[in-house]
Structure 1
Amino acid sequence: MGRPFNESQRRMIHSISQPKLRDVAFFVMTFADGNRPNDITFFSNMSRYLKQLKLPDIDALDPEVFYQRYHDGEVLPEEGSPKRGRFLQTYFRLLRKQEDYLLRLTPEQRRAVAPWQLSGLKDDHFWHRSTIHRDVRTDQRMRRKAATAVVHDQFYLLRDVAERRSIQVERLHTAFQDAIAHHEREGEALPMSFSITDETVSTSGRTRPTQQHFRLWDSATLRSVHEPVAEDFYYHQDQRQRIRAKVGNQARYFLSYEGGHARDDATLIEPYWFIELLQANVLKSQVIDSDFLRHNGFSKAAFQLPPRSTWGVSISHWLERISRDLDITFIPLEALRLAALVGHAAIQIMTKTGARMNEFLQIRLSQEYLSRVLLAKDREAIAFRAIPKGRQAEEPYYIDERCMRALHAWWKFQRERGQYLETIPPTRSLRHKLRPAPYLWQHAGRHFSHKDVNATMSIMLHGISLQTATGEAVRVTSHLLRHGFATEMRALNTPVDVIALLMKQRDVRVTEYYSQPTPARLMELQQKIFESRVDLSRTHVRSPGQIRRQVEAAQEQVGALIPVIGGRCTVASQCPIKFACIGCAGNAPDWHKRDQVIVYRQACAQMAEMAEAQNLPAEGRKAKEAMASCDDVLAEMELLEQADQAAADPVILTIGREER
Structure 2
Amino acid sequence: MIGMKSESQKPKSPFYLNLKEKVDENILLIQDARGDFLLDKLHEQSIKYFLNYCLNKPWTNHLFLGILAETEKNLDVQTTYQSIKNINRRLIDIFNNYRLEDMLDFDVNIHLYNYLKASIFPEHSSNMRSIFFSHYKRVSYESSKWIKLKCNQEQQGYFEKFLIPLPYFTSRDFSFSKDATEQAHKTRKSETDAVVPLLPQIRAEAHFRWNQIKRIREAFLKAFEQVKHGKAELPLEIQYNEPARIGERFTFRLWDKPSFVIYHKDKFSDSIVKAAINHTGTYSDDNNHYFLEFLGAERVEDDDIGEGLWFREIIQKNLIGLWYRNISSEELEQKRQLLLSWGYGEKGSTSLPYPFHSQHKAILFQSTTVSNFKNKSGRVLFDIEPLYVATTFGLLALDVFTTTGARLNELLQISNTKECIRAIKVNKQTKFSFYVIPKGRDKVEPYYISDQTMKLIQSVAKMLREHYSSNKIPSVQYRDVRSHLFPEPKPYFFQYNYKALKRYTIDSCLHFLLHGLILETQEGIPVIIKSHLLRHAFATEAAQRQKIPIEIVAKMLHQRDVDVTGYYSEPTSSQVVQTVSDLHDVISDYVDLDEAILRSPKELQDQWVEYQEKVGIFNNVLGGICVEDAVCPIKMQCLGCRAKIPQPEKKHQLYEVIELSKDMEKRYSLMGLDVEVKKAKAMRKHARNELKEIELIEKYREEQNYEPHIRFQK
Q: Deviations 1:562-595 (Å, cap 9, x if unpaired)?
A: xxxxxxxxxxxxxxxxxxxxxxxxxxxxxxxxxx
| 1:293 aligned partner, one-letter code | L
Unaligned 5+ residue runs, structure 1?
A: 201-206, 511-610, 634-660
| 1:37-116 equivalences in 2 (<5 Å) | 37=82, 39-72=84-117, 81-98=126-143, 102=147, 105-107=150-152, 110-116=156-162
**Equivalent-residue separation in structure 1 for 2:365 and 2:649 (angstroms):** 48
Match of 2:420 in 1: 369
Match of 2:611 in 1: none
Cα offset, 1:371, TM superposition: 1.4
Cα offset, 1:331, TM superposition: 2.4
Match of 1:485 in 2: 538
**Equivalent-residue separation in structure 1 for 2:174 and 2:370 (angstroms):** 56
| 1:304-383 equivalences in 2 (<5 Å) | 304-309=357-362, 316-375=367-426, 377-378=427-428, 380-383=430-433
| 1:497 aligned partner, one-letter code | E
Match of 1:429 in 2: 481
2:184 to 136, 140, 143: 140
| 2:432 aligned partner, one-letter code | I
Cα offset, 1:509, TM superposition: 9.0
| 1:550-565 equivalences in 2 (<5 Å) | none
| 1:215-364 equivalences in 2 (<5 Å) | 215-232=253-270, 234=272, 245-246=282-283, 250-283=287-320, 290=332, 291=335, 292-298=338-344, 299-309=352-362, 316-364=367-415
2:548 to 494, 498, 501: 494
**Equivalent-residue separation in structure 1 for 2:176 and 2:495 (angstroms):** 42
Match of 1:24 in 2: 62
- The answer as to whether partners of 1:217 and 1:254 remain within 8 angstroms in 2 is yes
| 1:156 aligned partner, one-letter code | P
1:462 corresponds to 2:515: yes
Cα offset, 1:358, TM superposition: 0.3
- The answer as to whether partners of 1:179 and 1:194 remain within 8 angstroms in 2 is yes
| 1:210 aligned partner, one-letter code | E
Q: Deviations 1:346-370 (Å, cap 9, x if unpaired)?
A: 0011000110000000001122110
1:398 to 443, 448, 452: 448
Cα offset, 1:270, TM superposition: 1.4
Report the 3-state secondary structure (helix = DSSP H, G, I; strand = E; otherwise coil) of the residue aligned with 1:172. helix
- The answer as to whether partners of 1:278 and 1:284 remain within 8 angstroms in 2 is no
**Equivalent-residue separation in structure 1 for 2:251 and 2:371 (angstroms):** 21
Cα offset, 1:487, TM superposition: 0.8
1:415 corresponds to 2:456: no
**Equivalent-residue separation in structure 2 for 1:631 and 1:10 (angstroms):** 73
- The answer as to whether partners of 2:356 and 2:509 remain within 8 angstroms in 1 is yes
Q: 1:451 to 1:104 in 2, by over 3 A?
A: farther
Cα offset, 1:280, TM superposition: 2.5
Report the 3-state secondary structure (helix = DSSP H, G, I; strand = E; otherwise coil) of the residue aligned with 1:439. coil
Cα offset, 1:378, TM superposition: 4.8
- The answer as to whether partners of 2:50 and 2:84 remain within 8 angstroms in 1 is no
- The answer as to whether partners of 1:235 and 1:245 remain within 8 angstroms in 2 is no
Report the 3-state secondary structure (helix = DSSP H, G, I; strand = E; otherwise coil) of the residue aligned with 1:114. helix
1:13 corresponds to 2:54: yes
Match of 1:153 in 2: 197
Cα offset, 1:489, TM superposition: 1.1
Bigger drift between 278-287 and 431-440 goes to: 278-287
Q: Deviations 1:160-201 (Å, cap 9, x if unpaired)?
A: 11111111111111122222233344622221112122148x
1:169 corresponds to 2:199: no
**Equivalent-residue separation in structure 2 for 1:270 and 1:173 (angstroms):** 19
Match of 1:4 in 2: 44
Q: 1:374 to 1:245 in 2, by over 3 A?
A: closer
Match of 2:674 in 1: none
Match of 1:450 in 2: 503
- The answer as to whether partners of 2:432 and 2:449 remain within 8 angstroms in 1 is yes
Match of 2:572 in 1: none
Match of 1:622 in 2: 657
Q: 1:618 to 1:24 in 2, by over 3 A?
A: farther
- The answer as to whether partners of 2:69 and 2:142 remain within 8 angstroms in 1 is no
Bigger drift between 477-486 and 412-421 goes to: 412-421
Q: 1:500 to 1:629 in 2, by over 3 A?
A: closer
Report the 3-state secondary structure (helix = DSSP H, G, I; strand = E; otherwise coil) of the residue aligned with 2:294. strand
Q: 1:281 to 1:70 in 2, by over 3 A?
A: closer
Task: Report 1 or 2 for greater relative contact order, CA contacts < 8 Å, sequence distance ≥ 6.
Answer: 2
Report the 3-state secondary structure (helix = DSSP H, G, I; strand = E; otherwise coil) of the residue aligned with 1:486. helix
Report the 3-state secondary structure (helix = DSSP H, G, I; strand = E; otherwise coil) of the residue aligned with 2:203. helix
Cα offset, 1:31, TM superposition: 4.5
Percentage of identical aligned residues: 21
**Equivalent-residue separation in structure 2 for 1:283 and 1:126 (angstroms):** 41
Please provide the CA RMSD for this pair.
3.6
Unaligned 5+ residue runs, structure 2?
A: 1-38, 72-78, 326-330, 345-351, 565-645, 669-714
Q: Deviations 1:316-352 (Å, cap 9, x if unpaired)?
A: 3333332233333222111011111011000011000
Q: 1:232 to 1:110 in 2, by over 3 A?
A: farther
| 2:395 aligned partner, one-letter code | H
**Equivalent-residue separation in structure 1 for 2:198 and 2:364 (angstroms):** 34
Cα offset, 1:427, TM superposition: 1.4
**Equivalent-residue separation in structure 1 for 2:523 and 2:49 (angstroms):** 30
Q: 1:484 to 1:75 in 2, by over 3 A?
A: closer
- The answer as to whether partners of 2:403 and 2:538 remain within 8 angstroms in 1 is yes
Q: Deviations 1:439-477 (Å, cap 9, x if unpaired)?
A: 111111111111000000000001112233344332211
Q: 1:627 to 1:66 in 2, by over 3 A?
A: closer
Bigger drift between 43-52 and 291-300 goes to: 291-300
Q: Deviations 1:246-296 (Å, cap 9, x if unpaired)?
A: 368734332221111111235430121121121122447755774143432
- The answer as to whether partners of 2:422 and 2:434 remain within 8 angstroms in 1 is yes
**Equivalent-residue separation in structure 2 for 1:390 and 1:255 (angstroms):** 46
- The answer as to whether partners of 2:357 and 2:365 remain within 8 angstroms in 1 is no
Q: 1:44 to 1:509 in 2, by over 3 A?
A: farther
Q: 1:100 to 1:429 in 2, by over 3 A?
A: farther
Cα offset, 1:383, TM superposition: 0.6
Cα offset, 1:482, TM superposition: 0.5
**Equivalent-residue separation in structure 2 for 1:507 and 1:312 (angstroms):** 40
**Equivalent-residue separation in structure 1 for 2:124 and 2:666 (angstroms):** 71
| 2:460 aligned partner, one-letter code | W
Match of 1:608 in 2: none
- The answer as to whether partners of 1:310 and 1:332 remain within 8 angstroms in 2 is no
| 1:114 aligned partner, one-letter code | E
Q: TM-score w.r.t. structure 2 length?
A: 0.65
Match of 2:164 in 1: 118
| 1:338 aligned partner, one-letter code | V
Q: 1:613 to 1:391 in 2, by over 3 A?
A: closer
Bigger drift between 225-234 and 412-421 goes to: 225-234
Report the 3-state secondary structure (helix = DSSP H, G, I; strand = E; otherwise coil) of the residue aligned with 2:136. helix
Bigger drift between 483-492 and 284-293 goes to: 284-293
Q: 1:116 to 1:498 in 2, by over 3 A?
A: same
| 1:263 aligned partner, one-letter code | V
- The answer as to whether partners of 1:32 and 1:101 remain within 8 angstroms in 2 is no
Aligned length: 517
Q: 1:5 to 1:183 in 2, by over 3 A?
A: closer
**Equivalent-residue separation in structure 1 for 2:260 and 2:509 (angstroms):** 29
Cα offset, 1:486, TM superposition: 0.4
